[in-house]
């Protein structure tokens, strides 16, 4: 099993450009999440998808959109990149149920917006 | 919403000593408290978690304690080794209830440095 995979690993964008970050999991998880990680701020939730067909905003959704393409894939789109979106982006997935389940993270995408 | 505070932000220990990281949370409905370890340039990985029906959990050199009344939980690492050097994150969640869908609120992280 590959677990959670993300593409690309690195990306440099100019202000105003758009791009889509791809995420896929092969663990038959229901829920998928997108986080951004900035120095000293931990991991902040951008969007999540509790199950196939649903998406919802997290703590910092402005400037982003998501698509839950199917049970395996969850993409994050930046329509008009800004320098404030320079960050490391992690996708994660988990089972869904009461009591809490481990979230498995992808390897991350390091994005720089100039 | 939930707010998680984590202290200290950096922690230097001598190899063999113990390390303790503390977190407080605000939402009394939170019932799932995982700890993640992130090595430099790598993804976060779960090292231990605890649920609100348990006060303490151990796994070899790692232990987590939970005080629901005071709304705080702690990570204890004993006999630290250089490979324990990493950033550690605490998190809190309502554990998959329909109004939270398993969302985790993370603390800001603790950089642990173990010197030989």
Q: How far is B54 from chain A (nearest CA, A)?
A: 12
- Cα B74 to the center of its chain, rounded Å: 6
> Given A44, A50, A102, which is nearest B34 (Cβ)?
A102
> Given B32, B93, B108, which is nearest A42 (Cβ)?
B108
The DSSP letter of residue B42 is S
- Convert the pLDDT of each residue in B10-38 to its tens digit: 999 999 999 999 999 999 989 899 999 99
Kind of pairing, strands B10-14 and A109-113?
Answer: unpaired
Question: Which chain A residue has the Cα nearest residue B90?
Answer: A42
* Cα end-to-end distance, chain A, whole Å: 36
pLDDT of amino acid B101: 61
Q: Does B54 touch chain A (CB under 8 A)?
A: no
Kindly tell me if the per-residue pLDDT of B61 is higher than 80.
yes
The residue count for chain A: 114
Q: Does B107 touch chain A (CB under 8 A)?
A: yes
> Are the C-beta atoms of A102 and A94 separated by less than 8 Å?
yes
The DSSP letter of residue B98 is T
pLDDT of amino acid A98: 66
Kindly tell me if the per-residue pLDDT of B95 is higher than 80.
no
> Given B96, B106, B109, which is nearest A96 (Cβ)?
B96
Q: Which two tokens stand for residue A22?
A: 């791809």
Question: Which chain A residue has the Cα nearest residue B89?
Answer: A42
Contact B95 A56 (CB under 8 A): no
> Given B6, B95, B108, which is nearest A99 (Cβ)?
B95
* Residue B20 β-bridge partners: B76
Q: How far is B17 from chain A (nearest CA, A)?
A: 25
Chain B contacts in chain A segment 58-87 (CB below 8 A): 58-59
How high is the mean pLDDT of chain B? 92
In this structure, how many other beta carbons lie within 10 angstroms of the beta carbon of residue B48?
18
State residue A20 phi and psi, 5-degree precision. -120, 130
Lowest mean pLDDT among A39-43, A104-108, B70-74, B89-93: A39-43
pLDDT of amino acid A50: 87
Q: How far is A6 from chain B (nearest CA, A)?
A: 11
For residues B33-44, give the mean pLDDT: 96
- Mean pLDDT by 10-residue block, N- to C-terminus, for chain A (114 residues)? 95 98 95 93 92 92 96 97 98 82 94 97
For residues B47-63, give the mean pLDDT: 92
pLDDT of amino acid B54: 80
> Are the C-beta atoms of B52 and B42 separated by less than 8 Å?
no
Kindly tell me if the per-residue pLDDT of B100 is higher than 80.
no
Question: Which chain A residue has the Cα nearest residue B1?
Answer: A59
State residue A9 phi and psi, 5-degree precision. -85, -35
Which chain A residues touch B2 with a CB distance below 8 Å? none
Q: Which two tokens stand for residue A13?
A: 């964008």
Q: How far is A110 from chain B (nearest CA, A)?
A: 10
pLDDT of amino acid B98: 58
Q: Which two tokens stand for residue B109?
A: 């992280």
- What is the SS3 assignment for B99? coil
């Amino acid at each position: 099993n590959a677990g959670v995979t993300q593409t690309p690993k690195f990306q440099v964008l100019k202000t105003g450009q758009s791009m889509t970050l791809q995420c896929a999991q092969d663990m038959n998880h229901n829920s998928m999440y997108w986080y951004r990680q900035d120095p000293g701020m931990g991991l902040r939730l951008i969007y999540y998808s509790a199950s196939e067909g649903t998406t919802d905003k997290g703590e910092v959704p402005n400037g982003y959109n998501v698509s839950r393409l199917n049970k395996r894939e969850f993409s994050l789109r930046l329509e008009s990149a800004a320098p404030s979106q320079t960050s490391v982006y992690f996708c994660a997935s988990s089972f869904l149920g009461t009591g809490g389940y481990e979230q498995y993270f992808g390897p991350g995408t390091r994005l720089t917006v100039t | 919403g939930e707010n998680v505070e984590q202290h200290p932000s950096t922690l230097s220990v001598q190899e063999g000593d113990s390390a303790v990281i503390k977190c407080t949370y605000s939402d009394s409905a939170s019932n799932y408290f995982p700890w993640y370890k992130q090595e430099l340039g790598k993804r976060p990985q779960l090292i231990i978690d605890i649920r609100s029906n348990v006060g303490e959990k151990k796994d070899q050199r790692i232990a987590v304690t939970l005080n629901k009344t005071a709304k705080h939980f702690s990570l204890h690492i004993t006999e630290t080794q250089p490979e324990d050097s990493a950033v550690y994150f605490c998190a809190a969640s309502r554990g998959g209830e329909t109004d939270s869908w398993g969302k985790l609120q993370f603390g800001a992280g603790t950089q642990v440095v173990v010197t030989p």
